[in-house]
Chain A
Amino acid sequence: MKSLYLVLKYLAILLWSSFVALPFLWALTTSFKTSNGVTGGATYIPWLQYEPSLEGWKVLVRTGGQGINIVAPFISSAIVTLSASLISMVLGTLAAYGLSRFSYRLGFVKNSDITFFFIAQRIMPPIVLAIPFFLMLQFLGLLDTIPGLILVYVALLLPIATWVMVDFFNNVPPQIDEMALIDGCNPIGAFVRVILPNSLPGIMVGGLFCVMFGWNDFFFAFTLTFTKTQLLPVAVVALNSSVTPWWSLSASALVSVAPLVIIAFVVERFLSSGNMAGAIR
């Protein structure tokens, strides 16, 4: 009975892993092909079934003419995502601290209502915000610019940052704040020296979420940029045309996904390494 359960368990894990991993494997093998390799029918295993080539990859960094420059959009995405995440985390952490430690009341509106109001922003379908953002950026003259995109992304990522951090701060007993005050810190010092170090796991997780949502966003990158600025998701999709270079497309897809995989891996290692063991009582 137990071994049957074990077999079923691993079968389920195998199936699911395949479902998740196979598209990546397919993209990986495709990216090493050339136009010749595609015509001969479906092939999967390099060296056995087809001759691998780095052509699809080299094209990505070549500029002008035959080149599909993916480096510039990559850098733009990185700048926008990281800046917006940083700003959102800073503002969100401060807001979350206020919501966790102090009681606000305006009529019937209290802390939990305000927190919910923040989260509720993400319920809205992005299309609802597309036109207002477009008009606002146009008014500010920031359409198709990196600062404009950063501004919009902060609006989108701030609720996530606040939401994650409020939860974390609620798990740090307020007596620790008080102890810091008694030990001679003013409220800001207490926040910086005691609460923040204790909330490192939360900051990592919040930061990860922000980076994830920011990096992967296609919709706003698409509607709010034209020619001057181009973000990575848009650049990859733009490769689609009458003659789609499948191998470069696969390669660029992998390039888009790689940074997040690496960051998530690093954060997960850090969280479970026990560095945080002391912080979470």
Chain B
Amino acid sequence: MALILEHIDIRVDDIAFLDDVSLTFKRGGLYTVLGRTLAGKTTLLRAIAGLQQPQKGTLTLNGKDYLHLPVWKRRVAMVYQQFINYPHLTVLANVAFPLRRAGVPAEEAKRRAMEVLDMVGLADFETRRPSALSGGQQQRVALARALVKRAEILLLDEPLVNLDYKLREQLREEFQNIFEGQDDAIVVYTTTEPAEAIQLGHELIIMDKGAVIQKGKPLAVFNAPATIRCAKIINDPPINIFDGAIENGAIQLQGSVLLPIPPHLAHLPQGTYCFGLRTSDLSLGGVIGSKVELSEISGSQTILHLSADIGAFILFEDGVSQHAIGSTVQVNLDSDRIYAFSPRGDLIAAPAITEN
């Protein structure tokens, strides 16, 4: 079973909410869609659910036209960002609602609803109203209602974004367990956080300005982002980019900084490139003098915002230390971890992945 979108276009007032999007979703797959706000993630889900009609393109499920099927005939379930529950119904009635609409007898609907409520950890809450619950609990009710339908397509639109940080961590793990059990459905989960997208998904899709700019296995996309834009979206903090060139057998960065060419870039011809390096791949104790613009502490690491001739960049230092603003530190770039992008932004070479 597959849900196939081909050349879907949704434009409103000249703004492309979805720009020539073609995607295939397979049964049993867990897809995460990563992108910044207004990238088109919500519009994508709404198009799949039928809440927004594309101006162009086709949408088929198992070869049958899905585009012209009205919302209530599509077997989809959706969880919104804002906790959406029926305020006038109890938790149990909320979860049983779709089953009753589908004609399931009251007794069985109640039984199945209780089962799912148990799965999301709300077994004792069935007589309460959603307004009496906390944010996390309301979202669990919404999730329960989405799961009880055993729909073919399960859509989640940044479901954790309005929750407390710690609650988000907890629910993410619960999601992982719950989604493992959804072998028959297509699950599509959107988020703005790279860590979430990589952790949850079997397939990761990066969207930007309405278009799909990369898709693939999460770690594959992380290790080899297709463009500078992809690299910036999938890294938090964003990847550092340095303008430079390969000349005379060395990497030349701005300010006459030379680096040896690492093995994975040895085959590249001379020319101008944009070099990318993650914040965790720079370290102190090298030869590049840099001025400290800002120093932040995060748990067991120090985040240094630096500027040097090679450009402005961010570095993660293990351990906690104080650096005065304006002081100079020596920085080392791990050339084995350098990405090479063309000046236009396409990936030319990525570092080798060390996996044991």
Report how far A244 CA is from B77 CA in the complex, Å: 71
With A182-B49, A186-B70 known as contacts, the answer to whether A279 contacts B78 (CB < 8 A) is: no
Known: A280-B87, A281-B87. Contact between A189 and B101, CB under 8 A?
yes
B72 touches A184 (CB 8 A): yes
Segment touching B, from A31-39, A146-154, A170-178, A227-235: A170-178
Structural contact, B72 and A179, CB atoms closer than 8 A: no
Q: In the complex, are the beta carbons of B86 and A179 less than 8 A apart?
A: yes
Q: Which residues of A are found within 8 Å of B82, using beta-carbon distances?
A: 173, 175
Residues of A whose CB lies within 8 Å of any CB of B are 173, 175-176, 178-186, 189, 194, 197-198, 200, 277-281
Cβ–Cβ < 8 Å partners of A281 in chain B: 87, 130-131
What are the residues of chain B within 8 A of A280 when measuring CB–CB? 87
Find out whether the CB atom of B101 lies under 8 angstroms from the CB atom of A181: no
Shortest CB–CB separation between residue B237 and chain A, in angstroms? 33
Interface centre among A183, A200, A281 (most CB of B within 10 A): A183
Closest to A187 in B: B72
Q: Could you tell me which B residues sit within 8 Å of A by CB distance?
A: 49-51, 70-72, 74, 76-78, 80, 82, 84, 86-88, 97-98, 101-102, 129-132, 145, 149
In the complex, chain B residues whose CB is within 8 Å of the CB of A279: 87-88
Are B88's CB and A182's CB within 8 A?
A: no
B71 and A194 contact, CB distance less than 8 A? no
* Listed residue (A178, A179, A180, A185) with the most chain B CB atoms within 10 angstroms of its CB: A179
Please tell me if the beta carbons of B71 and A278 are within 8 angstroms of each other in the complex: no
The answer for the CA separation of A194 and B132 in the assembled complex, in Å, is: 19
Contact for B101 among A175, A183, A200, CB less than 8 A:
A183
Distance in angstroms between the alpha carbons of A9 and B169 in the assembled complex: 53
Number of A-B contacts (CB under 8 A): 65
B49, B71, B80, B97 — which one has the most chain A CB atoms within 10 A of its CB?
Answer: B71
Q: Are B131 and A277 in contact (CB under 8 A)?
A: yes
State which of A175, A179, A278 has its C-beta within 8 Å of the C-beta of B88: A278
Report the Cα distance A278→B89, complex, angstroms: 8
Closest to A179 in B: B84
Q: Tell me whether chain A's interface is mostly helix, strand or loop, or mixed.
A: helix
Q: Which chain A positions have C-beta within 8 A of B130?
A: 278, 281
**Closest partner residue, chain A, to B90 (CB atom):** A278
Residue pair A178, B87 in contact (C-beta under 8 Å): no
Alpha-carbon gap, A163 to B94, bound state (A): 30
B87 contacts A183, CB within 8 Å?
no
A-B contact pairs, 22 of them (CB 8 A): A176-B84, A176-B87, A179-B78, A179-B80, A179-B86, A182-B71, A182-B77, A182-B78, A183-B98, A183-B101, A183-B149, A184-B72, A184-B102, A186-B72, A189-B72, A194-B86, A198-B86, A198-B87, A278-B132, A279-B87, A279-B88, A281-B87
Question: Which among B49, B77, B88, B132 has the greatest number of chain A C-beta atoms within 10 A?
Answer: B88
- Contacts A178-B51, A178-B71, A182-B74 aside, 14 further interface pairs with beta carbons under 8 A come to A173-B84, A176-B87, A179-B80, A179-B86, A182-B71, A182-B78, A183-B101, A185-B101, A194-B88, A198-B87, A200-B88, A277-B131, A278-B87, A279-B88
7 closest A-B pairs (Cβ-Cβ)?
A184-B101, A278-B129, A183-B98, A181-B71, A197-B88, A175-B84, A279-B88
**CA–CA, A278 and B91, complex, Å:** 11
A180 to B77, CA, bound (A): 11
Q: How far is the CA of A113 from the CA of B86 in the complex (A)?
A: 31
Known contacts A197-B88, A278-B88; is A183 also within 8 Å of B131 by CB?
no
Q: Report chain B residues within 8 Å CB of A194.
A: 86, 88
How far, in whole Å, are A185 and B99 apart by their CA atoms in the complex? 11
What's the Cα separation between A179 and B131 when bound, in Å?
Answer: 17
Q: Nearest chain B CB to A105's CB is how many angstroms away?
A: 13
Contacts of B51 in A (CB 8 A): 178, 181
A185 to B74, CA, bound (A): 11
Residues of A within 8 A of B129 (CB): 277-278
Contacts of A277 in B (CB 8 A): 129, 131
Q: How far is the CA of A217 from the CA of B76 in the complex (A)?
A: 52
Alpha-carbon separation in the docked complex, A179 to B44 (Å): 16
Q: A30 CB to closest chain B CB, in angstroms? A: 47
Contacts of B84 in A (CB 8 A): 173, 175-176, 179
Q: A183-B145, A278-B87 are in contact. Are A175 and B131 (CB under 8 A)?
A: no
Whole-angstrom CA separation of A198 from B76 in the bound complex: 24
Q: Give the CA-CA distance A180 to B85 in the complex, in Å.
A: 10
Give the chain B neighbours of A189 by CB distance below 8 A: 72, 101
- The answer to whether A184 and B98 have CB atoms under 8 Å apart is yes
Query: Smallest distance from the beta carbon of B103 to chain A beta carbons, Å?
Result: 9
Query: B80 contacts which chain A residues (CB < 8 A)?
Result: 175, 179
| Closest chain A CB from B37 CB (angstroms) | 17
Given the contacts A178-B51, A179-B86, A185 and B72 also touching, CB distance less than 8 Å:
yes
In angstroms, Cα B50 to Cα A45, docked, is: 72
**Chain A hits for B76, CB < 8 A:** 182
Cα distance, A180 to B102, chains bound together (Å): 12
How distant is the Cα of A189 from the Cα of B72 in the complex, in angstroms?
10
Q: What are the residues of chain A within 8 A of B132 when measuring CB–CB?
A: 278
Selected from B72, B101, B102, B131, the residue in CB contact (under 8 A) with A278 is: B131
Provide the residues of chain A in CB contact with B131, threshold 8 Å: 277-278, 281
- Contacting residues, chain A, for B145 (C-beta < 8 A): 183
Distance between B227 CB and nearest chain A CB, rounded to angstroms = 34
Query: What's the Cα separation between A199 and B149 when bound, in Å?
Result: 26
